Amino acid sequence: MKIENTFIQKQQIIHKEPKKELEIKDTVTLSKSPISEKVLIIAHRGSSKLAPENTMASFKEAYKHGATAIELDTHRTKDGYLVIIHDDTLDRTTNGHGKVGDFTLKELKELDAGSWFGPEFKGEKIPTLEEVLQWAKGKVKVDIEVKNSSQYPGIEKDILKLVEEKDLKDDVFITSFDKSVSENIKDMAPEIKTGLLISPDLLVKALKIGTAGGLIAGLAGSLIGGAGALLAAGMTLAGGGMGFLVSKEIGERISLKGSLEEKADIILPYWALIGSTFVRKAHEKNKEVYSYTANSPKLVNKLANKTGVDGIITDTPEKFLEGYFF
């Protein structure tokens, strides 16, 4: 989808004509309003389309464009420091090789975490959680994701220690796909916000099974009924479509089942799982709903204005944070 105004023109509109409406192709015309009045836009690994993910360069880009929150991933070094990197191995985003936990902080700081993204980021380092929290204080909220509690036993305690030292209890939330992380945090520090991430895997599996089953049922029905080739094709497609719709409903319910009963303050489903009914039920239980990972203006608009989510995690915060919401 193309936006008729260029990025530079948008900036001019923002500063000169704050009430003017913006035309977006293949969507309705929307009145512009401050993003901060809609939802919390959370920069996924920073502005990860403009700078190497999970680096200070990426976090600073997100802040420069107006982000009010950043998301990052934590791992622990061989000598006990918490560092920011997505994978548990170094190979994809640095010039190093092997598992993060097999190296000391000093060894990790000697690696280049930027050249893979572009030559202008050569020499970018893997940051520590302490460095990021110190920089973020007074600037942005921080979504600290823990990949797996059992991978680094006691990591929740290490995180809480840093959060307390930096006096950031009101400005962080700790998230994970592992529900034991929320449970552990709440046992140690009930005042810290936690979030449970919901995987779309069950939805995808349901869609595959349901759609395939529908196609087979449609084809079988046409053959039994002695339908001609054209009618058989239509019945097969209709069966597949029906199977898709039914399995989508079932997959969403299975994926989200029980999530509102968990200890977490925030539920973070994949965006395709979220509907306004779920958000309403979450709010009734005093829980917030953040979606991941939405990158198009059309999708962000739908999530914020139709489903009513409280936050949106995105790889492209720069699209939505120039002061106005599409």
CB 92 within 8 A of CB 113: no
Q: What pLDDT is attached to residue 238?
A: 73
Domain boundaries in the chain? Answer: 200-257
Q: Which of 140, 143, 191 shows the shortest CA–CA distance to 164?
A: 191
Q: What is the pLDDT along the chain (326 residues), one digit of tens a residue?
A: 333 333 333 333 333 333 333 333 333 333 445 555 678 989 999 999 999 999 999 999 999 988 889 999 999 999 999 999 999 999 999 999 999 999 999 999 999 999 999 999 999 999 999 999 999 999 999 999 998 778 899 999 999 999 999 999 999 999 999 999 999 999 999 999 999 999 887 766 655 776 777 667 766 766 676 666 676 677 677 766 776 676 667 767 777 888 899 999 999 999 999 999 999 999 999 999 999 999 988 898 889 889 999 999 999 988 876 545 54
Q: Which are the catalytic amino acids?
A: 44, 86
Q: pTM higher than 0.85, yes or no?
A: no
Q: Where are the beta strands (DSSP E) in 217-287?
A: 266-269
- Pairwise CA distance, residues 243 & 237, whole Å: 10
- In degrees and rounded to multiples of 5, residue 5 shows phi and psi of -90, 140
- Please work out, in degrees rounded to the nearest 5, the angle formed at the alpha carbon of residue 98 by the alpha carbons of 94 and 102: 110
Instruction: Look at residue 226 in the predicted model and tell me its pLDDT.
Output: 67
Residue 237: the pLDDT is: 76
Give me 213's structure tokens.
């089953």
How many other CB atoms are found less than 10 A from the CB of residue 270? 18
